[in-house]
Amino acid sequence: MNKIYNPTPDTWSTLLERPTKTVDDIEFTVKEIFKEVQKKGDLAVAKYTSLFDGVSLDNYEVSQEEINEAIGLIANELKEAIQLAKSNIEKFHAAQKTDRVIIETTEGVNCWQEKRPIQKIGLYIPGGTAPLFSTVLMLAVPANIAGCNEIVLCSPPDKNGNINPAILYAANLCGVTKILKVGGIQAIAGMTFGTESIPKVYKIFGPGNQFVTVAKQLATQFGVAIDMPAGPSELLVVADDTAVPAFVASDLLSQAEHGTDSQVLLVSTSKNLIDAVEKEIQIQLDLLPRKAIAEKAIANSKLIYVENDSIALELINEYGPEHFIICTAADDFYIDGIENAGSVFIGNYTPESAGDYASGTNHTLPTNGFAKNYSGVNLDSFTKSMTFQKISKKGIQNIGKAIEIMAEAEGLQAHKNAVTLRLKTIEDEK
């Protein structure tokens, strides 16, 4: 890993750059596939599934028979682990439910807000070298709690035309209504426009590679909402001599093994800790089955020494990490001061892996600095807030004059008239 000592603020923007391609590099490819899927539907999906996934399929929808077969392939130990995780995720997200908010703003003017579910949800679940069945839990569980009617899941098939059994097990357990063997840009395009096999949805959720991220962003140009621009995974750890070097190294590697374009950073006020973590990374790296992937990610990553906690916090807020681990003697300082982070993990015994799987918080989080203006997925991500109002005769009398004056000042006479007619009717009734 690259070691940097006391970087000055004027170098931070360069130092903290993510190892990702720019949108311009891949936007053309994404747009071309979108155009073809919009025009040709399943024919285009078949073309790109063959090209990118190396398989030709007659039917994209996973059958109940395939789901039942997948359930039989999952070890009981894994089923129990998934069920535990699901239970904790349910508890955390169910606790986010809010009651109707109602207020009489003026006598006779009653206003309230209610949450209503988004009816049609699309979930994108990466497959490939790391089939993320845990993401099914993170997305389908809150979608069900919110009351979404249709939950469509797309995941890329393997060379045999199958989806990983654990993904199918989790999807069935969490109430997904349709599972499709479609991945990549063509899956996002299919859920954006709808094809013969893929339903059009109102909002798309889920992480993916840089092509999927750009595809989701492009989907918003066609009236489809997305959870956030979630790209390659990233982690920043702030630690000092109170941290256990082996723990810190294991956390850094846990994100590095996601993909070659992942990025991990250690920020520390201790040079000794940095040296110890560097040694631990090499020891643990050599034992990883995904060593080749983690090694490339580590090459994009950095060990940064700064002189004090204040500088460290300023740098961290500038970076805006997806995952942020705090393991210092000044934990409260960082907890109180962090402004830009997707999810925060505190102390020696809180690995980032806990949030990825089973603590209950959601692991679908903003990356690439979007933690500065996006939240991670939560229950509200699957709902819309609708406002209501009911005004009595007394109420319109109380606010009517103000409405008339404001409408006239804006030159909107019909707006004024809508109130004037009502006030006159009330006056005539007296």
Q: Is the pLDDT of residue 6 over 80?
A: yes
Task: Tell me what the mean pLDDT of segment 98-105 comes to.
Answer: 96
Confidence of residue 21 (pLDDT cuts 50, 70, 90): low
Task: Tell me what the mean pLDDT of segment 111-129 comes to.
Answer: 94
Q: Is the pLDDT of residue 22 over 70?
A: no
Q: What is the pLDDT of residues 288-312, one digit of tens each?
A: 999 999 999 998 889 999 999 999 9
Query: How far, in Å, are 181, 318, 329, 365 from residue 346 at the CA level?
Result: 38, 20, 11, 17
Task: Tell me what the mean pLDDT of segment 76-87 comes to.
Answer: 98
The per-residue pLDDT for 24 is: 72
233 is in an annotated binding site: yes
124 is in an annotated binding site: yes
Structure tokens at 362: 């959601």
Structure tokens at 249: 């190294």
323 is in an annotated binding site: yes
The DSSP symbol for 290 reads T
Q: Determine the Cα–Cα distance for residues 317 and 372; give it in Å rounded to an integer.
A: 8
pTM of the predicted model over 0.75: yes
Q: Which of 118, 117, 205, 222 is nearest to 154 (CA)?
A: 205
Q: Is the pLDDT of residue 352 over 80?
A: yes
Spot the catalytic one: 322, 352, 363, 408. Answer: 322
Confidence of residue 258 (pLDDT cuts 50, 70, 90): confident
**Domains of the chain with bracketed CATH:** 2-20+232-360 (3.40.50.1980), 23-229 (3.40.50.1980), 393-429 (no CATH)
| Catalytic (active site) residue 80 | no
258 is in an annotated binding site: yes
Task: Tell me what the mean pLDDT of segment 390-397 comes to.
Answer: 98
The per-residue pLDDT for 305 is: 98
| Catalytic (active site) residue 322 | yes
Spot the catalytic one: 323, 363, 404, 429. Answer: 323
The per-residue pLDDT for 376 is: 96
186 is in an annotated binding site: yes
The per-residue pLDDT for 232 is: 81
**In the β-sheet with 225-226, what is the strand arrangement from edge to edge?**
178-180, 150-154, 120-124, 203-205, 225-226
Q: Mean pLDDT score of the chain, rounded to an integer?
A: 95
